[in-house]
Homo-oligomer: A and B are copies of this chain.
């Protein structure tokens, strides 16, 4: 059990063996016992199992092969739609069209998504998060028919693993654990935190393949550029606002 957590890995390649529908439902029910703010369950999960559904969503995830190659794609959405309708049907006046409520729903959504992944992985299934959901939320929302106060937050691919996925390296705990106060490290100390990562063969290969000088440059110049981050900031921000969560602006 402990071993599972230490060696957990993301799975991007899946065998064609189907995940039984009953098993999927059971796992979603178990996941819903995860913590949720005030027991409001401010999320929805849209389950995509059809080939045409996965094909339609693939471009939103930049055609990562796991999207069409998985058994099931799960789009976890921050959802105040249901809760607000319940309020309206109960003679209660909701005030959840704001940034704080959006954030609360995001927390609920990610908590249940991660609980679902753990449950699935402990049953031998493989999962992988698609980091593209907050980039292309408008496209995803349109395909899935998301109404007001529903915003996609994370997408998970699910299926039986094909082959063994690699184990990712992680920073040592001194890099991310702080005792009592934030121990604000200087650049040279931070550089030490990343020394082992930079020395890895796969990191060096990554730098060479991308024609860069340093591993960090692969992130800033190739994978997560300022231009892309700023463009997707605008798109996600506008989309969230368009779905009814108003941002506080003077």
Does A199 reach chain B (CB closer than 8 Å)?
no
Could you tell me if B217 and A92 are in contact, using CB atoms closer than 8 angstroms?
A: yes
Could you tell me if A236 and B191 are in contact, using CB atoms closer than 8 angstroms?
A: no
Does A65 reach chain B (CB closer than 8 Å)?
no
Chain A interface category by residue count: 35 or more
For window 157-202 of A, CB contacts with B under 8 Å fall at 168-171, 173, 175-182, 184-188, 190-191, 193-194
- In the complex, per-residue mask of A79-101: 1 if CB is within 8 Å of any chain B CB, else 0: 10111011111111111101111
Docked pose: A88 CA to B53 CA in angstroms? 42
Could you tell me if A25 and B173 are in contact, using CB atoms closer than 8 angstroms?
A: yes
Q: A205 to chain B: which residues have CB within 8 Å?
A: none
Q: Which of B154, B175, B188 contacts A82 (CB 8 A)?
A: B175
Q: A96 to chain B: which residues have CB within 8 Å?
A: 224, 229
Does A62 reach chain B (CB closer than 8 Å)?
no
Q: Which residue of B lies closest to A135 (CB)?
A: B100
Docked pose: A47 CA to B180 CA in angstroms? 5
Docked pose: A131 CA to B213 CA in angstroms? 43
For window 127-162 of A, CB contacts with B under 8 Å fall at 128-129, 131, 134-135, 144-147, 150, 153-154
Pick 16 A–B contacts, CB within 8 A, sort by A. Answer: A37-B131, A41-B171, A46-B180, A47-B177, A82-B176, A86-B216, A90-B216, A91-B216, A95-B220, A100-B134, A100-B229, A103-B106, A107-B134, A110-B110, A111-B114, A146-B182
